[in-house]
């Protein structure tokens, strides 16, 4: 799972984003550019380009150069080193060099566990990476143990319905099906399919993911001798993949081969022939870059020819398939053994014992206790592991986010955003899933909204929409010392609390909003503070907030709304999620880092107001459209009591489209009012235009809190 995309000094002009590239990192420009960083970036971009062109051997060389450069720059135990280890392992794995790739993945995992602790998304994906190398080498028990650990941590870190969880469920299902634990394997696969269906209901993007799940469910039936139940599932998977953008994806070959197998076993060779010829045509397009898929098709063709009694053509197909794999990797690829058994069985049936023995010796099958396959018993169906590169969208323009000036005081953090790429290649509906500071959130939203992509096309040439998950990583480089301290830090549990609220590890902040400075108090130059407690349940949800102290009631309401809008991963005690109570003080004064930004906006708006440079919406060329509008956090106790209401708020929109200085005009319930203002402070609009020129605007909008 590729994680490293280190764009610190330059903007990539044509980057490729992977659909579930849950661990790719885009770093902000360091304050002091270093030649070594440019070298790392150049190698990383070279790797991306070569790998995307399926020039895997050259990509491996680029990855080795990048690894050497990043180790020289950051040392052997830096997260950036882990990222480059993953690059190299990825290039080796796709070439079949599993033995060499495994220690690289294990070392990358060790670095991340030391850097981030156990409960971290990069650790989850690292465990899954190592597991799937064990799986490809036939080590099912090792793969199962690692995937179960990844699933347990992942459900805490991501939640139970995240695409990364679907991937882990899928792969664990594959392992269990191969272990003949079909009931559990099918349960895991159906759960992965349910997650993908729910995502696709809104975005229509994960056809390949759903096809993977359907293929594996079908294969489970097929392995158990139920081709009639397998066939419609294969056909549904095929229909989905045909409607996807990747008409040459290896998954298509696997599904075609599996469906052909059911036709062979049910005595329908004509239907099997059509499917196999189609898969062969796909493989012949790129025999040098994708020999595995071509070998798979040739193997199935050989099985069909043997079923039809044409042993000469069967031999030709098996021999060519085996030669392709031997050139690629040699005898350790699992498919090699399958094809070798078919060829040796054909020779032995023709009383060509020496030829059979030669094949077995070449491929390491000598002494195998497995019986030779019969002509009417084709090879088992292929299971598809889930991948993180199922759908790729190529960017035409992609601005790399800059580090917010307000946070350039040794603060760092990560942002996870998902968005929809339209049929025209434009970005719509960005949703920030994780952000440790609103300044980082706003930087990412602003840039992502300006990205443009090449439209994705189906096999039939029709454009499709796609949902993209893209992580960003912001950090600052201070020479030999890098400080990635998050802007907000949570303390340990308070020993005075009852035992049920004690924890070993505190809740992890996932999403942060700032307190809105009460406009009237800001206008009067009044400063102060407020201290708020928050109760967090074992699922990370906020159940209660309470103002413990405030120098002014409005400061208390603002701080309470801020904390109510945050999201968390739960605290843990003895490794299990638990309840937690936290208390946090927020200061409203000129020396506070986050207040400085508000004061700057206030000064700008006041100055513009005096010059009559703030315009009503009616004076604009057209009303600006909201591009990013996160919903307010509905306070738990108000929702539970059925308290609803409408809030009328006023705010400024600056020349960039950012909301500034929201204030209450009318609110039946003060808590709802401040919840609305807290959400509004994160909104972004199209820049207001007057005469085609960006200007400042002022407007009012109602926000309704409803139980529906």
Q: What is the CATH number of the domain that holds 246?
A: 1.25.40.10
Instruction: Based on the fold, state whether residues 566 and 520 are members of the same structural domain.
Output: yes
Classify residue 296: in a domain, yes or no. no
Q: What is the CATH number of the domain that holds 625?
A: 3.30.2420.10
pLDDT for res 148: 95
Mean pLDDT value of segment 583-588 = 91
Instruction: Based on the fold, state whether residues 508 and 479 are members of the same structural domain.
Output: no
Write out the two tokens for 25.
């990192």
CB 84 within 8 A of CB 66: yes
Instruction: Based on the fold, state whether residues 73 and 109 are members of the same structural domain.
Output: yes
Could you tell me the pLDDT band of residue 688, with boundaries at 50, 70 and 90?
A: very high
Mean pLDDT value of segment 42-65 = 83
Classify residue 700: in a domain, yes or no. yes
Could you tell me the pLDDT band of residue 294, with boundaries at 50, 70 and 90?
A: confident
Last residue of a domain, one of 429, 459, 483: 483
Classify residue 617: in a domain, yes or no. yes
293 compared with 357, residue with greater pLDDT: 357
Which range of residues forms the domain containing residue 680? Answer: 609-705
pLDDT for res 488: 61
| β-bridge partners, 367 | none
pLDDT for res 307: 86
Provide DSSP, 623-676. Answer: PPPEEE-PPPP--HHHHHTT--EEEEEEEEE-TTSBEEEEEEEEESSHHHHHHH
Instruction: Based on the fold, state whether residues 630 and 580 are members of the same structural domain.
Output: no
Instruction: Based on the fold, state whether residues 92 and 238 are members of the same structural domain.
Output: yes
pLDDT for res 7: 34
Mean pLDDT value of segment 224-239 = 92
pTM above 0.85, yes or no: no
Instruction: Based on the fold, state whether residues 462 and 421 are members of the same structural domain.
Output: yes
**How many CB atoms are located within 10 Å of the residue 495 CB?**
6
Instruction: Based on the fold, state whether residues 568 and 468 are members of the same structural domain.
Output: no
Residue 306 has pLDDT above 60, yes or no: yes
Residue 23 has pLDDT above 70, yes or no: no
Angle at the Cα of 91 (from 120 to 292), degrees rounded to 5?
Answer: 120
Instruction: Based on the fold, state whether residues 88 and 191 are members of the same structural domain.
Output: yes
Residue 163 has pLDDT above 50, yes or no: yes
Instruction: Based on the fold, state whether residues 680 and 630 are members of the same structural domain.
Output: yes
Classify residue 346: in a domain, yes or no. no
Classify residue 634: in a domain, yes or no. yes
Residue 528 has pLDDT above 70, yes or no: yes
> Distance (Å, rounded) from C-alpha 301 to C-alpha 311?
11
Classify residue 253: in a domain, yes or no. yes
| Number of domains into which the chain is organized | 4
CB 417 within 8 A of CB 433: yes
Residue 372 has pLDDT above 80, yes or no: no
Write out the two tokens for 365.
């099958």
Instruction: Based on the fold, state whether residues 50 and 182 are members of the same structural domain.
Output: yes
CB 615 within 8 A of CB 656: no
Instruction: Based on the fold, state whether residues 189 and 148 are members of the same structural domain.
Output: yes
213 compared with 597, residue with greater pLDDT: 213
Last residue of a domain, one of 221, 248, 275: 275
362 compared with 690, residue with greater pLDDT: 690
Non-local (6+) Cβ contacts of 30 within 8 A are 8, 9, 37, 476, 477
Chain centroid to Cα 281, Å, comes to 32
Residue 33 has pLDDT above 80, yes or no: no
175-211 pLDDT, tens digit each: 999 899 999 999 999 999 998 887 765 444 577 888 8
* Residue-averaged pLDDT of the chain: 81
> Distance (Å, rounded) from C-alpha 87 to C-alpha 104?
9
Residue 162 has pLDDT above 70, yes or no: yes
Instruction: Based on the fold, state whether residues 224 and 159 are members of the same structural domain.
Output: yes
Mean pLDDT value of segment 235-241 = 88
Residue 518 has pLDDT above 90, yes or no: yes
Last residue of a domain, one of 452, 483, 514: 483
Residue 643 has pLDDT above 90, yes or no: yes
pLDDT for res 377: 60
Classify residue 546: in a domain, yes or no. yes
Residue 266 has pLDDT above 50, yes or no: yes
Classify residue 375: in a domain, yes or no. no
């Amino acid at each position: 799972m590729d994680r490293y995309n280190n764009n610190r000094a330059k903007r990539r002009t044509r980057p490729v984003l992977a659909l579930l590239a849950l661990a790719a990192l885009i770093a902000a420009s360091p304050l002091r550019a270093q030649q070594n960083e440019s070298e790392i970036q150049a190698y990383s971009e070279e790797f991306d380009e070569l790998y995307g062109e399926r020039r895997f051997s050259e990509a491996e060389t680029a990855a080795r150069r990048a690894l050497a450069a990043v180790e020289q720059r950051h040392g052997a135990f830096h997260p950036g080193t882990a990222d480059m280890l993953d690059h190299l392992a990825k290039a080796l794995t796709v070439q079949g060099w599993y033995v060499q790739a495994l220690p690289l993945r294990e070392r990358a995992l060790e670095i991340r566990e030391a850097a981030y602790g156990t409960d971290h998304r990069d650790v989850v994906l690292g465990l899954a990476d190592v597991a799937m190398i064990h799986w490809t080498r036939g080590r099912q028990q090792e793969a199962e143990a690692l995937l179960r650990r990844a699933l347990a941590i992942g459900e805490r870190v991501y939640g139970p319905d995240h695409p990364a969880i679907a991937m882990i469920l899928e792969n664990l299902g594959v392992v269990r099906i191969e272990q003949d634990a079909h009931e559990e394997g099918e349960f895991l696969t159906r759960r992965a399919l349910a997650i993908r269906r729910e995502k696709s209901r809104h975005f229509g993007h994960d056809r390949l993911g759903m096809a993977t799940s359907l293929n594996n469910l079908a294969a489970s039936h097929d392995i158990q001798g139920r081709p009639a139940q397998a066939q419609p599932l294969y056909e549904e998977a095929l229909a989905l993949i045909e409607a996807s953008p990747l008409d040459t994806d290896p998954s298509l070959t696997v599904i075609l081969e599996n469906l052909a197998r059911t036709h062979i076993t049910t005595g329908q060779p004509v239907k099997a022939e059509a499917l196999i010829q189609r898969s062969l045509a796909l493989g012949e397009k790129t025999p040098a870059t994708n020999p595995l898929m071509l070998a798979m098709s040739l193997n199935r063709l050989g099985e069909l020819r043997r079923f039809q009694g044409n042993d000469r053509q069967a031999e030709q197909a098996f021999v060519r398939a085996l030669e392709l794999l031997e050139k690629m990797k040699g005898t350790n690829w699992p498919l090699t053994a399958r094809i070798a058994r078919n060829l040796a069985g054909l020779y032995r049936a023709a009383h060509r014992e020496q030829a059979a023995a030669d094949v077995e010796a070449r491929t390491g099958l000598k002494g195998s206790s497995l019986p030779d396959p019969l002509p009417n018993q084709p090879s088992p169906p292929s299971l598809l592991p889930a991948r993180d590169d199922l759908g790729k969208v190529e960017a035409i323009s992609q601005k790399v986010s800059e580090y917010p000036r307000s946070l350039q005081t040794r603060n760092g953090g990560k942002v996870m955003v998902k968005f929809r790429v339209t049929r025209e290649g434009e970005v719509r509906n960005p949703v920030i899933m994780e952000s440790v500071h609103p300044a980082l959130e706003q930087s990412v939203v602003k840039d992502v909204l300006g990205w443009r992509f090449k439209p994705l096309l189906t096999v039939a040439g029709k454009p499709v929409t796609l949902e993209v998950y893209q992580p960003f990583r912001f950090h600052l480089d201070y020479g030999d010392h890098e400080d990635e301290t998050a802007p907000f830090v949570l303390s340990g549990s308070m020993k005075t609390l009852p035992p049920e609220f004690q924890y070993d590890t505190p809740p992890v902040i996932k999403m942060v909003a700032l307190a809105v400075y009460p406009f009237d108090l800001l206008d009067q130059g009044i400063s102060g503070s407020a201290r708020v407690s928050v109760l967090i349940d074992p699922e990370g949800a906020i159940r209660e907030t309470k103002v413990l102290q405030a120098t002014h009631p409005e400061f208390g309401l603002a701080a309470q709304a801020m904390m109510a809008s945050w999201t968390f991963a739960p605290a843990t005690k003895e490794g299990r999620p638990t309840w937690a109570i936290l208390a946090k003080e927020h200061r409203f004064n000129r020396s506070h880092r986050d207040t400085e930004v508000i004061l700057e906006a206030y000064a700008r708006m006041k100055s513009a107001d005096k010059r009559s440079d703030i315009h009503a919406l009616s004076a604009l060329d057209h009303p600006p459209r909201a591009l990013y509008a996160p919903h307010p956090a509905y306070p738990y106790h108000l929702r539970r009591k059925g308290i609803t209401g409408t809030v009328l708020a006023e705010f400024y929109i600056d020349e960039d489209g950012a909301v500034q200085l929201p204030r209450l005009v009318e609110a039946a319930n003060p808590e709802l009012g401040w919840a609305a203002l807290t959400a509004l402070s994160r909104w972004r609009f199209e820049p207001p235009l007057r005469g085609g020129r960006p200007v400042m605007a002022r407007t009012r909008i109602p926000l309704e809190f409803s139980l529906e």
